[in-house]
């Protein structure tokens, strides 16, 4: 089979890497791809938002099925158009993608169908929003309704800060139209978890729970980013809690969407808060695989991913017996450019990648890279996702940071504490990995 992957980040490199191993896949194309992906797939210079161009290419190359990585094409209705043309494609339809593209849509769906989430109010008028902020206690959370590349949510600890954020979102439009409508919601405390599941619109097949690190700096300081690293599994996640998440959130959401006339096929990503009494609440939903969570999750996956994706498309996911996983802990550390997330530097030569090639327990997934001749150069904010598997949390942390130390480029920045939250709890849970 010929497969086309749409996107050019670390998530897409992980997808291409996994699909290239499939016995069912003969060749892989990627649009637009990146430097690392170009070593595994044919990368085509084309805008991933050019839906009609993507359809033309898919027909010309007789693509058997398409996998959509990022959220923007999904929100733009790429799946609907490909289906109209009879081209199999993995991902939710435009209405389904609203679960990420509109936080108001997601919150109202959860409220209507009793899916656990924080209490909230929606505002389209700036003055009304400011008036409400002046009546509530801190902390609380302000969110832009639309897509903001993971940077549209703000934890507010002072009312004056809340007023400034509302002005930035609703008046100054720092995220464009995404902030014209905002949500002000209850602050939830606890520990965060990323919970992803495949779905064919009826059944779900969960992946490994993981934990993302959104903040730029160690200790969860600094501005939010697209994600500076992730690890799986999570030491505090147990089978009982997973059953609760599957029944009260993941399956319930798929059923809720179906009842609203939206058969959801693809990946449903639940960004969760696990409260002190071990109850899960939805912070947000995403309509696709996470980045960087995909890298450590797929690096641990033993099963062939192609039949799973096809089962979601064809509506027979219940025929898949389950997913087999490698033993141990998988950790991904993101190496970012100087100036990320606001104004990342580009064009810096990357050194040391050859030292990590062909290592069984190490994989470097490329994101913002470009290959010119035999050299790789930085071409974006998040450059590489160095990923390692270890026997336990200590071993995985040691391996991944030893690998990181082999790589250099001017201005390289990374967090030095990815996975270390799990070390204390992990010591007591390693027997369950």
Q: What is the residue-level pLDDT of the chain in tens, covering all 433 positions?
A: 999 999 999 999 999 999 999 999 999 999 999 999 999 999 999 999 999 999 999 999 999 999 999 999 999 999 999 999 999 999 999 999 999 999 999 999 999 999 999 999 999 999 999 999 999 999 999 999 999 877 889 999 999 999 999 999 999 999 999 999 999 999 999 999 999 999 999 999 999 999 999 999 999 999 889 999 999 999 999 999 999 999 999 999 999 999 999 999 999 999 999 998 999 999 999 999 999 999 999 999 999 999 999 999 999 999 998 999 999 999 999 999 999 999 999 999 999 999 999 899 999 999 999 999 999 999 999 999 999 999 999 999 999 999 999 999 999 999 999 998 887 654 444 433 3
Q: Is 193 helix (H, G, I), strand (E, B) or coil?
A: strand
| Angstrom distance (rounded) from CA 231 to CA 296 | 6
CATH 3.30.470.20 correct for 191-432: yes
| Angstrom distance (rounded) from CA 33 to CA 368 | 10
348 DSSP 8-state letter: P
pTM of the entire structure? 0.94
List the one residue out of 379, 393, 373 whose CA is nearest residue 433.
393
Q: Are strands 42-43 and 27-32 parallel, antiparallel or unpaired?
A: parallel
339 dihedral zone (left: phi>0; alpha: psi -120 to 50; beta): left
| Angstrom distance (rounded) from CA 173 to CA 181 | 10
Tell me phi and psi for residue 45, to 5 degrees: -75, 100
The model's pLDDT over 300-352, given as tens digits with 9 standing for 90+, comes to 999 999 999 999 999 999 999 899 999 999 999 999 999 999 999 999 999 99
Tokens 């690096």 identify what position? 299
Determine the angle formed by the axes of helices 126-133 and 159-166, rounding to 10 degrees.
170
Within 8 A by CB and 6+ apart from 120, the residues are 107, 111, 183, 184, 185, 186
Which two tokens mark 37? 């992906």
| CATH code assigned to 119-186 | 3.30.1490.20
Q: Would you say 379 and 37 are in contact if contact means Cβ atoms under 8 Å apart?
A: no
In total, the chain counts a number of residues equal to 433
| Angstrom distance (rounded) from CA 192 to CA 184 | 19
List the one residue out of 372, 369, 359 whose CA is nearest residue 409.
369
CATH 3.40.50.20 correct for 2-93: yes
Indicate the domain borders of the chain.
2-93, 119-186, 191-432
Which two tokens mark 164? 């400034």
List the one residue out of 142, 143, 146 whose CA is nearest residue 178.
146
Burial of 131 (0-12, 13-18, 19+ CB in 10 A): exposed
399 dihedral zone (left: phi>0; alpha: psi -120 to 50; beta): alpha
Determine the angle formed by the axes of helices 422-429 and 393-404, rounding to 10 degrees.
140
3-class SS letters over 61-120:
CCCCEEEECCHHHHHCCHHHHHHHCCCCEECCCHHHHHHHHCHHHHHHHHHHCCCCECCE
List the one residue out of 335, 394, 395 whose CA is nearest residue 361.
395
Tell me phi and psi for residue 99, to 5 degrees: -65, -20
List the one residue out of 194, 191, 132 whose CA is nearest residue 166.
132
């Amino acid at each position: 089979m010929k497969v086309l992957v749409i996107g050019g980040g670390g998530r897409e490199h992980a997808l291409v890497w996994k699909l290239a191993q499939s016995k069912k896949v003969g060749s892989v194309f990627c649009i637009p791809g990146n430097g690392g992906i170009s070593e595994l797939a044919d990368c085509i210079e084309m805008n991933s938002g050019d839906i009609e161009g993507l359809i033309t290419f898919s027909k010309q190359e007789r693509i058997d099925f398409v996998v959509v990585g990022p959220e923007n094409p999904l929100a733009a209705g790429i799946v609907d158009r490909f289906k109209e043309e009879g081209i199999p494609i993995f991902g939710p339809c435009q209405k389904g993608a609203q679960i990420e593209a509109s936080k108001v849509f997601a919150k109202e769906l959860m409220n209507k169908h009793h899916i656990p989430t924080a209490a909230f109010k929606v505002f389209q008028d700036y003055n009304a929003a400011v008036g409400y902020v002046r009546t509530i206690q801190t902390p609380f959370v302000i969110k832009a309704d639309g897509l903001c590349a993971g940077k549209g949510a703000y934890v507010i600890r002072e009312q004056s800060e809340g007023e400034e954020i509302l002005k930035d979102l609703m008046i100054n439009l720092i995220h464009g139209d995404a902030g014209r409508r905002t949500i002000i919601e209850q602050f939830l405390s606890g520990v965060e978890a990323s919970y992803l599941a495949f779905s064919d619109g009826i059944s779900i097949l969960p992946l490994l729970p993981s934990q993302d690190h959104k903040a730029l700096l160690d200790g969860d300081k600094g501005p939010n980013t697209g994600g500076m690293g992730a690890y799986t599994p999570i030491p505090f996640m147990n089978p009982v809690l997973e059953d609760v998440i599957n029944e009260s959130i993941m399956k319930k959401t798929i059923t809720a969407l179906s009842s609203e006339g939206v058969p959801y096929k693809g990946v449903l990503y639940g960004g969760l808060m696990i409260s002190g009494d071990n109850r899960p609440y939805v912070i947000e939903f995403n309509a696709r695989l996470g980045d960087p969570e995909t890298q450590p999750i797929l690096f641990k996956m033993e099963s062939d991913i192609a039949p799973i994706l096809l089962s979601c498309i064809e509506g027979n996911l219940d025929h898949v017996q389950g997913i087999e996983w490698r033993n141990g802990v998988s950790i991904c550390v993101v190496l970012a450019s100087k100036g990320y997330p606001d104004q990342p530097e580009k064009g810096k030569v990357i050194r040391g990648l050859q030292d990590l090639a062909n290592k069984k327990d190490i994989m470097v997934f490329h994101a913002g890279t470009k290959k010119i001749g035999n050299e790789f150069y930085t071409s974006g904010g998040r450059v590489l996702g160095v990923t390692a598997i270890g026997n336990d949390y200590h071993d995985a942390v040691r391996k991944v940071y030893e690998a990181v130390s082999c790589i250099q480029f001017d201005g390289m920045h990374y967090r030095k504490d990815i996975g270390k939250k799990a070390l204390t709890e992990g010591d007591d849970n390693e027997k369950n990995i």
